[in-house]
């Protein structure tokens, strides 16, 4: 009977620690790199293949539906997913956190590529089932070591850190519900005025665009501030921006 270190997973983790490429016979699960920056994704994929991994590069340009279809053609493995996928070729924003959930439901392990400023989305990704995170600013050696460990089924995020992310997620969800309750108080026209304020339009410009009097727009702005319980247009716009991050 083989020991844990003699198993494929144990062998991969040992090789990851030693910086050695694993032999092809141990590489059963495939790895897909899903990235919004083609050069970075292609470079990482090439480096993984050079280490003996069955790696595939899927670009955000194809769109979420196409990405999922391509993943469905492969046996479940490890997805290295960029938290900033950007837009597809049709200009549609790609929701990386939502993609984590889809991959997790298909029994894929998901390792997130993110940064220190991604707290809200990182928390959402962990809550959706991501097994860990690694910074894109890390060296290629660190990235590869993290992928080696994840591919071997090793721990890439301590349970204490996971618990902290889940607590953050719960806090963000509470904040989101509170903001939604405030924004739900606005009429459709008031919501439109707030969005135009967010775009940098002044009251006079809004009046001209909506074909109403300046007095009407100013009254709507006062109503917006009262309903959102803020004291200035800047605070109202800030609430809208915070909600977009959640």
Containing 174, the helix (H) or strand (E) segment is: helix 159-183
- Confidence check: pLDDT of 50 > 60: yes
Minimum mean pLDDT range among 60-64, 75-79, 96-100, 171-175: 60-64
pLDDT (0 to 100) of residue 93: 84
Radius of gyration of the chain (CA): 23
- Confidence check: pLDDT of 18 > 70: no
Strands in the chain per DSSP E = 31-35, 55-59, 78-82, 109-114, 132-135
Nearest CA to 85 out of 51, 39, 135, 37 is that of: 37
Beta partners for 113?
82, 134
Nearest CA to 116 out of 101, 87, 138 is that of: 138
User: In whole angstroms, what is the distance from residue 201 CA to residue 218 CA?
Assistant: 13
pLDDT (0 to 100) of residue 1: 43
- Confidence check: pLDDT of 192 > 80: yes
pLDDT (0 to 100) of residue 116: 57
CB 55 within 8 Å of CB 147: no
User: In whole angstroms, what is the distance from residue 108 CA to residue 121 CA?
Assistant: 19
Residue 234 binned pLDDT confidence (cut-offs 50, 70, 90): very high
CB 159 within 8 Å of CB 126: no
User: In whole angstroms, what is the distance from residue 71 CA to residue 67 CA?
Assistant: 6
Residue 162 binned pLDDT confidence (cut-offs 50, 70, 90): very high
CB 12 within 8 Å of CB 152: yes
Q: For residues 87-102, give the mean pLDDT.
A: 88
Residue 190 binned pLDDT confidence (cut-offs 50, 70, 90): very high
- CA distances from residue 191 to 176, 219, 224 in whole angstroms, order as listed: 17, 13, 8
Beta partners for 57?
33
Considering Cα of 102, then 104, then 107, then 111, what sign does the dihedral take?
positive
Nearest CA to 143 out of 30, 31, 67 is that of: 31
């Amino acid at each position: 009977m083989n020991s844990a270190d003699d198993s494929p997973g144990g062998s991969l983790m040992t090789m990851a620690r030693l910086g050695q490429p694993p032999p092809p016979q141990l590489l059963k699960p495939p790895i897909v790199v899903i990235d919004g920056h083609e050069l970075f994704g292609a470079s990482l994929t090439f480096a993984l293949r050079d280490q003996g991994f069955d790696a595939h590069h899927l670009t955000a340009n194809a769109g979420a539906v196409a990405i999922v279809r391509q993943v469905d053609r492969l046996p479940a493995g490890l997805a290295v997913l960029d938290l900033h996928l950007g837009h597809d070729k049709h200009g549609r924003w790609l929701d990386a956190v939502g993609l984590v959930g889809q991959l997790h439901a298909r029994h894929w392990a998901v390792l997130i590529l993110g940064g220190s400023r991604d707290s809200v989305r990182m928390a959402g990704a962990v809550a959706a089932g991501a097994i860990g995170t690694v910074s894109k600013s890390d060296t290629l050696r660190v990235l590869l070591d993290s992928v080696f460990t994840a591919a071997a089924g090793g721990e890439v995020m301590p349970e204490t850190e996971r618990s902290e992310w889940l607590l953050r997620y719960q806090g963000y969800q509470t904040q989101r519900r509170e903001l939604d309750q405030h924004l739900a108080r606005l009429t459709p026209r008031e919501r439109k005025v707030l969005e135009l304020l967010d775009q940098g339009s002044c009251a006079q410009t809004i009046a001209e665009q909506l074909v109403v009097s300046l007095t009407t727009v100013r009254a709507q702005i006062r109503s917006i501030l009262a309903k959102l319980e803020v004291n200035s247009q800047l605070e109202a716009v800030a609430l809208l921006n915070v909600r977009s991050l959640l």
